[in-house]
Each structure stands twice: as structure tokens, then as C-alpha cells.
Amino acid sequence: MKDPILVVDDEEDIRELIRYNLTKAGYTVACAASGEEGLTLARENKPIAIILDIMLPGIDGLEVCRQLKGDAALKSVPIVMVSAKGEEADIVAGLELGADDYVSKPFSPGVLLARVKSVMRRAQSEPVDMEAVVTVEGLVVNPSRREVLVNSEPVELTNTEFKLLHFLIRQPGVVYTRSQIVDGVHGDDYPVTDRSVDVQVVGLRKKLGEWGAQIETVRGVGYRFRG
């Protein structure tokens, strides 16, 4: 099968709903009903994206994600995880294993399709230039000058607040867990708790004024900068 999107879900009606909408949008689709079958299909037909349910019989979605991200031939394939409500801890675990995004059941097929398209665009984009100026309408972040402008007016941020804003804004729309943010801003093994990120976000939102609302809280998971 050429360049499929792989759907791994043990519920036949969900698989068919996703398959129908992806096919209607012009994609080739492969489907698997278990984690074992999903891993086999992924290895046989390197997909362009994977939609992966967390709750699967046998090998669950988290283990499938771990194995895929540990496979040199498949680790770059974007993964959108699908979860039932109340599985925030599993969503966090999936993101920290390398999943690119998630949707919660019940979901809109249109929202799922938009998420899949978004992760595929990011996977195909050029590597992020860490020193590039990032401009989102009236908000400008200049990493080489450690400068932030809101509607052309400079905003004074602490070093940590600046690093936090730059970490989120350079990949708009990407959901990051608190521990991913700590590692991204401070480096591995930095001696702070995940919850200290919440304090930094509160201060950053206040200083950014109207633009503070762009830093979105993803309940039970973490934060993202709305693109």
C-alpha cells in the first residue's frame, strides 16, 4: 500500500468513521484492530501518519508508540493519539513518548483530520531555526536580542519567561506537557517541579496582556501556543 495513513483502533465503528473521512479527503488508509497488527502494518508499509488509540487489546497504544518511536525507520512518522475522556495521564505519557498530538473521544472527524494534517505539515517542514525571529501578528520574539515586542512596545521578561515563550511560540499548536517544557526551557534534570511551570505561565500571560490568552492551558496535560 502506497503512503497510507494508518488507523489503529479496536472499535470497528470508529475505524470505519475515520477511514471514511480520510478516504473522502483523498488519503489512502490502512486499518488495524490491535497493537500487534498496527506494528506489523507500520513496518510493512511506512505510513505518512498514524492515528493510534490508547486503549487496545494486547499491546496498548502507549507501548505501540514507544516501539514506533524507538524504530529508526519509523520514529519520524507523526502520531496522533486517540483517548477516552479521563485518560489525561495516558495522554501525558503518550506525548512524552513522542506522540505529536491527541484527540479525545468522542471527537469530530473534521477536528481529527485537521490535527492529522497539522502534524504532517510539521513533520515535513524545515528544522526550526532557534535564532529566527518569530512574528505572530502583533507579537514579536527575537531570540538573538532576547527581545519581545507587543504591538511594537518592548515587554520586559525574566530569562525563564523568555525561554518559556520562545519554546512554545516556535511550534504553534503543539501541546507540551509540563515536564517537556521544563526540559525544553532548562534542560534535563533541572531541579524544579512541573507545577512551577504554572507559576511562570501566569506571570508571562500578565506581561503579554492581550497576547497572554494565546498561551492555552490543555487541561490535565500542559500548554500550547495557539497558532
Contact 182, 174 (CB under 8 A): no
**pLDDT tens for residues 65-96?**
999 999 999 999 999 999 886 678 888 999 99
pLDDT at 190: 52
Assign residue 32 a region (left: φ > 0; alpha: ψ between -120 and 50; beta: otherwise): beta
104 close to 95: Cβ distance less than 8 angstroms: no
Q: Which domains does the chain show, CATH number per domain? A: 4-124 (3.40.50.2300), 134-225 (1.10.10.10)
Q: Which residues of the chain have pLDDT under 70?
A: 1-2, 85-86, 125-129, 187-194, 227
pLDDT given for residue 212 in this prediction: 94
